Amino acid sequence: MSERIYVFKRFERFWHWSQAGLIMFLMLTAFDIHGTYTIFGFEKAVAYHTIAAWSLIGLWVFAIFWHFTTGEWKQYIPTTEKVVAMANYYLFGIFRNAPHPFRLTQLRKHNPLQRLAYLAILICVGPLIWVTGVLYLFYDQWAAWGLGNLSLEWVANGHIAGAFMMLAFLIAHVYLTTAGHTPMAHIKAMITGWEEVD
C-alpha cells in the first residue's frame, strides 16, 4: 500500500525550479566566461551571468524569509541518525531491492544524507561562490571597502573552484532524484508537491 504525502508547498516548488533554472544558466554562462566554450562570448556571458546572479540573490531573499517564517529551516539541521543506513542503502541495498531505510514525513522531507549534503552546500560551497562572486562584481570598490590588498587571482580561483563543486553537486543531485520509490517519484513530487511513500 502506498500513501501520498504533501511535502513540497507551492512556494517551495517555485523556489526550487526557478533556482534550478538560474543555477543551470549560471553554469552555462560561467564556463562560457571561463573560456571552456563560446555560446554568448565573454562580454555577453558576463552580463547574463551578472543578471542571473542578482536574480538568484533576490530569490534567496524570499526563500530565506520563507524558511524562517514557516520554520522549514529546521529541515536542514543535520542528524547522524540513519546516516550509515542511508549510505549502506545507496551502496548496497538499492541494488538488492532492499527497503528504503528512511521514511519521509512532512517534518522530515530530506533523508539524513540529503540534509548533510544540502547543509554542506549551504555553509561551504554557497558562501564560497557568493562571497567571491560579489567581490568579483565589486572589484572596483575593493579599495573603498578597505580590501585593497585582496588578490583578484585568489578571488577568481575561489569562484571557479566553487563552480566546479556546484557542477559536481548538480550532477549527483539530478541523479539521486531518480533514487526514490520509483525513478520518477522524487521528480514528480517536486512538480506536484505530492510524494508517494510505501
Interacting residues toward other proteins by CB under 8 A: 33-35, 41-43, 46, 90, 94-97, 139-140, 151-153, 156-157, 160-161, 163-165, 167-168, 171-172, 175, 178-179
Residue closer to other proteins by CB (options 7, 129) is 129
With a CB cutoff of 8 Å and minimum separation 6, the contacts of 75 are 107, 108, 109, 110, 115
Alpha helix (H) ranges present in 34-111? 42-70, 83-91
Closest CB to other proteins among residues 121, 165 = 165
CA distance 79 to 95: 25
Least CB distance from residue 65 to other proteins, whole Å? 30
Closest distance to other proteins from the beta carbon of 93 (Å): 11
**DSSP character at residue 182:** S
Spatial contact of 39 and 13, defined as CB atoms under 8 Å apart: no
Cell of 10: 507551492
Considering the complex, what minimum distance in angstroms separates the CB of residue 121 from other proteins? 14
* Minimal distance, residue 55 CB to other proteins, in Å: 19
